[in-house]
Amino acid sequence: MVFGDSLSAAYGLALESGWVHLLEQRLAQEKFGYLVVNASISGETTAGGRQRIEQSLAQHRPAIVIVELGANDGLRGLPLTAMGDNLGAIIQACRRHGARVLLVGMRLPPNYGIAYAQKFQDTYLQLAQRHKLGPVPFLLEGFADRRELFQADNLHPTAQAQPLILENIWRPLRGLLNRLLKT
């Protein structure tokens, strides 16, 4: 299950162009035998995700949850301690339901101030350490500075960027999938 915001909900794109749909195709191509549920909502904050995680887990019963939340918290300048608490609660809920977690990191543009942007980024690393999660990829790694790969709002990646997002997710996810197959 992908539990995210507009970056996972294919905002401004045809759903079949989004990285989540591409992930579903990759899983089928590599014969992993998993279905993908996209429980992402455009505009979602970590507080909203925290409120709806239990229902999503009960409804879909995922083996793995890709948590891609926090960008909207950062863009709104919300307190990072609350963001960390919300993400921590989401991770704990996933584990209580027996799901493995891949936490996806985000970064903010520098116009939010260097200190806030660094603390924002560090929140993901601290959560990964505290909850003993694997490496936290940056969703937009390798192309965040390439304007041509973003829609007119300068926030949402274009269809051409979606395969790059998939590759950023695929590396750590594949390791998680392989570990699940061994258990």
Q: Domains of the chain, with CATH numbers?
A: 2-182 (3.40.50.1110)
Kindly report the average pLDDT of the chain as a whole number. Answer: 95
pTM: 0.96
Is the per-residue pLDDT at 111 higher than 90? no
Q: Is the pLDDT of residue 178 over 80?
A: yes
**Helix (H), strand (E) at residue 84:** helix 80-96
Is residue 109 scored above 90 in pLDDT?
Answer: no
What's the pLDDT score for residue 51?
98
So which residues are the catalytic ones? Answer: 6, 153, 156
pLDDT at 123: 97
pLDDT at 79 over 90: yes
The reported pLDDT for the residue numbered 95 is 97
Cα 107 to Cα 10: distance, rounded to the nearest angstrom? 19
Q: pLDDT per residue over 125-153, tens digit each? A: 999 999 999 878 899 999 999 999 999 99
- pLDDT bracket for residue 82 (50, 70, 90): very high
pLDDT at 74: 95
* 19-29 vs 162-182: helix crossing angle, rounded to 10: 40
In 113-132, which positions are buried (b, 16+ CB within 10 angstroms) versus exposed (e)?
A: eeeebebbbebbeebbeeee
**Is the confidence at residue 30, as pLDDT, over 90?**
yes
The tokens for 6 are 């507009």
